[in-house]
């Protein structure tokens, strides 16, 4: 695949630009990159306080709320930030498109790397919190979920980054869509609430977002969706991811010739 070859060939410069992108987001502040880690962490802690102690609406009754909540919210934060930032990356790096010879295909990967710094930090925090409650990660499942998440982000942003570059308004629509996915994905509510709505339950379980959320919880033995008779959801996830990548790659190839004209 041309995209993978290009990404591998330029891996060093993409990695360096990704690190610089993360640092530059907070370059004008005293604490610098610390804000990049602090903001999402405070956001997650706030959700725990509100939903567990104020609204009294916990997750699964079989596990401590923190063990159930943090893994799900961690993977969502990573996916959401990765998709939104990578989708607008070509406009952000317009000078790479207009003024110098640069492989445009790899620009979204710069933002994905940048957002992954916070994602990995939150992942470590989630592992630490679960360990405090006596829930330790299955390393092989953890590696699988991380790789699956990266593949999904790349597949989606092959399409969204191209469309956002040509149609800037698409970035606003994408933000709304991601908000809808947040509320219709079992991040702050448990699937057991849909026990009496089997059709809706199956639809939500087939969502790639739900698959990744539940899979990361399975790292700690909290949910079952990858294994134990639920392999159909793994097949559905990878089918959607592969189709999205092929389709997005096709759209990207057709539209990238117009990038310099619209930027």
> Is the model's pLDDT at 221 over the cut of 90?
no
159 or 2: whose pLDDT is higher?
159
Mean pLDDT in residue range 164-193: 90
DSSP code of residue 162? H
Mean pLDDT in residue range 110-118: 89
Measured CA to CA, the distance from residue 253 to residue 206 in angstroms comes to 29
**Helix orientation angle between 170-183 and 65-87, rounded to the nearest 10 degrees:** 170
> Is the model's pLDDT at 142 over the cut of 70?
yes
- Band the pLDDT of 178: cuts 50, 70, 90: very high
pLDDT in tens, 199-212: 888 899 899 999 99
Look at residue 36 in the predicted model and tell me its pLDDT.
65
> Is the model's pLDDT at 146 over the cut of 90?
yes
229 or 259: whose pLDDT is higher?
259
> Is the model's pLDDT at 180 over the cut of 90?
yes
> Is the model's pLDDT at 231 over the cut of 90?
no
Task: Give the three-class secondary structure for 63.
Answer: coil
pLDDT in tens, 27-39: 556 555 666 667 7
Q: To the nearest whole number, what is the mean pLDDT of the chain?
A: 84
Look at residue 258 in the predicted model and tell me its pLDDT.
81
231 or 176: whose pLDDT is higher?
176
> Is the model's pLDDT at 58 over the cut of 60?
no
Mean pLDDT in residue range 169-194: 90
> Is the model's pLDDT at 171 over the cut of 80?
yes
- Band the pLDDT of 56: cuts 50, 70, 90: low
What are the CA-CA distances from residue 178 to residues 76, 86, 171, 182 (Å)?
10, 14, 11, 6
Domain that holds residue 249: 2-262
Look at residue 117 in the predicted model and tell me its pLDDT.
86
Q: What angle do CA 162, 164, 168 make, to 5 degrees?
A: 145
How many domains, in total, are found in the chain? Answer: 1
Mean pLDDT in residue range 56-67: 68
CB 71 within 8 A of CB 220: yes
202 or 41: whose pLDDT is higher?
202
DSSP code of residue 226? S
Measured CA to CA, the distance from residue 19 to residue 233 in angstroms comes to 34
Measured CA to CA, the distance from residue 138 to residue 157 in angstroms comes to 29
pTM for the whole structure: 0.88
CB 141 within 8 A of CB 234: no
Mean pLDDT in residue range 96-100: 73
Of 90, 204, 43, nearest to 212 (Cα)? 204
CB atoms within 10 A of CB 128: 10
């Amino acid at each position: 695949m041309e995209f993978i070859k290009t990404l591998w060939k330029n891996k060093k410069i993409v990695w360096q630009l990704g690190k610089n992108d993360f640092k530059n987001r907070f370059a004008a502040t005293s604490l610098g990159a610390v804000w990049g880690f602090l903001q999402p962490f405070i956001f997650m802690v706030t959700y725990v306080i509100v939903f567990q102690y104020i609204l009294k609406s916990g997750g699964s009754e079989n596990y401590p709320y923190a063990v159930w909540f943090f893994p799900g919210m961690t993977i969502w934060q990573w996916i959401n930030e990765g998709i939104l930032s990578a989708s607008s990356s070509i406009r952000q790096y317009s000078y790479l498109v207009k003024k110098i010879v640069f492989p445009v295909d790899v620009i979204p990967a710069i933002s994905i790397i940048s957002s992954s710094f916070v994602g990995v930090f939150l992942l470590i925090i989630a592992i630490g919190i679960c360990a405090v409650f006596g829930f330790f990660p299955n390393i092989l499942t953890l590696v699988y979920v991380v790789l699956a998440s990266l593949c999904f982000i790349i597949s989606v942003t092959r399409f969204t980054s191209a469309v956002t570059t040509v149609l800037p308004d698409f970035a606003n629509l994408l933000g709304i869509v991601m908000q809808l996915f947040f509320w219709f994905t079992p991040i702050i509510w448990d699937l057991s609430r849909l026990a009496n709505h089997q059709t809706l339950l199956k639809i939500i379980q087939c969502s790639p977002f739900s698959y990744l959320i539940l899979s990361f919880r399975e790292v700690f033995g909290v949910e079952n969706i990858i294994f134990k008779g639920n392999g159909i959801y793994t097949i559905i996830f990878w089918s959607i991811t592969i189709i999205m990548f092929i389709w997005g790659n096709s759209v990207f190839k057709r539209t990238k010739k117009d990038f310099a004209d619209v930027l």
